[in-house]
Every structure is written in C-alpha cells, then in structure tokens.
Amino acid sequence: MVSDRSLEVLRVIVQDYVASREPVGSKSIVDRHAFGVSAATIRNDMALLEEEELIAAPHTSSGRIPTDKGYRLFVDHLAGIRPLSQAQRQAIETFLGQSADLDEVLARSVRLLSQLTHQVALVQYPSLSKAKVRHIELVPLSDTRLLSVLITDSGHVEQRVIDLPHTVDDGVLGDVRARLNVAVGGRAMGEAAAVLQHPDAFGPKDLHEVIGLIAENLVDQIGANRQERLVMAGAANLVRTEEDFTGSIFPVLEAIEEQVVLLRLFGEMATDQHGVAVSIGRENAPFGLAETSVLTSGYLSNGSDLARLGVLGPTRMDYSNNMAAVRAVARYLSRLLGEN
C-alpha cells in the first residue's frame, strides 16, 4: 500500500523529471522540497514506489524516473489541471478569433496548441454526418470553366473547378444554381448526395450533360466533407525531444502520419472528469506509439458529432499544463464554431 507521503514523492519525481530530464534522487528531493523528513526516509518511500513499479532506475546507482504506470497514477490522481494564464487565454481568443472559416480555424488551432504545449498538435475534422447544405454557388471563371462552391451550416466551404464541355449562358447557369439550392438547400449531407444522383430535374434536357457534371462534382464535395481526417502541426517539437525516445523517432513520425491509426486511437480514448482523455506509453503500443502520450478533449461544431483535438509527445511531458491547454482550446473551438 502506497502511503500519502509516497504519493507526494511520486508527484515531485514526475514534476522534477519533466522539468530537468534528469533522474531524481532522494537528496535532491530533500533539498528542493519541504517534506520535513530525512533522505533515508525518502529513500524508503522511493523503494516502495519502485516495488509498485511506479518508478524505475534507468542506470545502476542513479536517481529514479517515472514509469508508464507512475505517469498514469500521476495523471489520474495527482495532477491538477493548472489554469492558463490571462496571457494564454487572451492568445487563444485573439489568434482563433481571426479565423474566417472552418479550415482556417482548425489550422490555427493546431498551430496555437503546438505553441502552448511544445508538442505535436492534432485536430480531427468534425464528422459532418449531421451537417446540412447551407448554399451552393456556381461562379463562372471563363466561358467553359466554373467554380462550384458548397457551404455547410457548420461554416465549412468546399470548392471544385469544373471544366464544361461547352459554353453555358450566365442566365441559364443562374437558373441551374437556383434549382440546385431549392433541391438540396437545408438537407442533410447524405440526403443531398442522394438527390444529386438524379440531376435531370435541375435543368433543360440539352443541359443534362453539364448539369450531370456539376452534380457529380457536388457529390464529391459532399463526400470530402464527410471523410474523417486530421490536421497536424508541430512535428518539429517531436524532433526537439528526440532524447526522450530510445533509438530512432522515425517510427513515431511514421505512425503519426497514419491518420486512420490516430483516428482509431482517438475513438478508443475515454474522457475523465475534466473532459480530457489521456493515453500513456504502453497503452498506445497497438498503434505503434508505445513511447508517447496522447492527450485529447472533444469539441462540437454546428451539425457535427463530437470531434477531438489534442497533443502527442513523449511520456515525459508537462501533463498539467498540456491538459489545461487542450481543454481550453477545445472549449473555445466549440464556442467559436457554435456561433457560426
């Protein structure tokens, strides 16, 4: 049974090791922290923690470092979510508030989160299974080329350039656009795709080839909105922490490029009472990420299911700060996208 003081010793070992990357010994604990007991007593506590496989010695006669099990206990019971500073909160509002559409919001979110945490930041595009078509726009670019623009009620914009087989009068094109919006405007994405499978109703017979081409591209645009994908930023942060990995970091870099694998990991992570999910070390082994920790929180967009935003880095990371940053950015993202 681990005593309360032993848990406090574990807490300072985690915090000191995260800060210094140096194994932590009993003398440094006594010197740096006010436990009010001797180094021998702290050594006894450390021996108990080692028996419980919460800390380990990386080298003979060295200090101790946390194990995956130790980090898990720290995250579940010892790590408080440190509140972000006013400057950090202001940075989130200022940086994300300048975004114009969903793509830019998500790109800015991962850049900001990687800066706040010094980790690899990841954000999952919202699954738009519940999204609806807000508007379709057809913009002539030349006599035989037009831009097809699909706008969802979540604010996402998907564009395609379409090469037409022949010239189409602007007035006729405007009529086709109006018919398309009447037919699919306000419909769920899947329902709109089904309607567009029968394009003959959107214009005169002599334009069926053109209308069919437009409808086919719109179906592709809807499909692009429904695919699950990730945006990532801060891979350079992983390179800077290369010393935290045994051997090469290239397997980790390869693993995080596999979006399907990361999306599956996201889907299996359960959130805690703070609304944050944390997967540590060996818990990530099935995904090729056994030396990393992944922290995520969920966010919502209009017309979407819950999507995840988070960070990935070595197990030696500042969990308290990173959990706070992930939760704060996810909450602001939900608020921002909910207003659109």
Q: Where are the domains of the chain?
A: 4-78, 86-127+228-339, 129-226
Sequence-distant (≥ 6) Cβ neighbours of residue 159 within 8 angstroms? 147, 148, 149, 150, 221
Distances (CA, A) of 48 to 4, 32, 60: 12, 21, 17
- For the domain made up of 4-78, give the CATH fold: Arc Repressor Mutant, subunit A (1.10.10)
Tokens describing residue 285: 């082994």
Q: Report pLDDT for 60.
A: 67
Average pLDDT over residues 228-243: 89
Percent of the chain surpassing pLDDT 90? 42
Q: Over 80: is that where the pLDDT of 184 sits? A: yes
CATH of 86-127+228-339, one of 3.30.450.40, 3.40.50.720, 3.40.1350.10, 3.90.1150.170: 3.30.450.40
Tokens describing residue 292: 């990393």
- Dist. CA 93–CA 74, nearest whole Å: 30
Q: Could you confirm whether domain 129-226 is CATH 3.30.390.60?
A: yes
- Dist. CA 315–CA 295, nearest whole Å: 11
- Dist. CA 241–CA 87, nearest whole Å: 26
Least confidently predicted of 50-64, 118-132, 199-213, 279-293: 199-213
- Dist. CA 294–CA 311, nearest whole Å: 6
Least confidently predicted of 90-104, 169-183, 209-223: 90-104
Note whether 92 and 99 are within 8 A (CB): no
Tokens describing residue 299: 């966010």
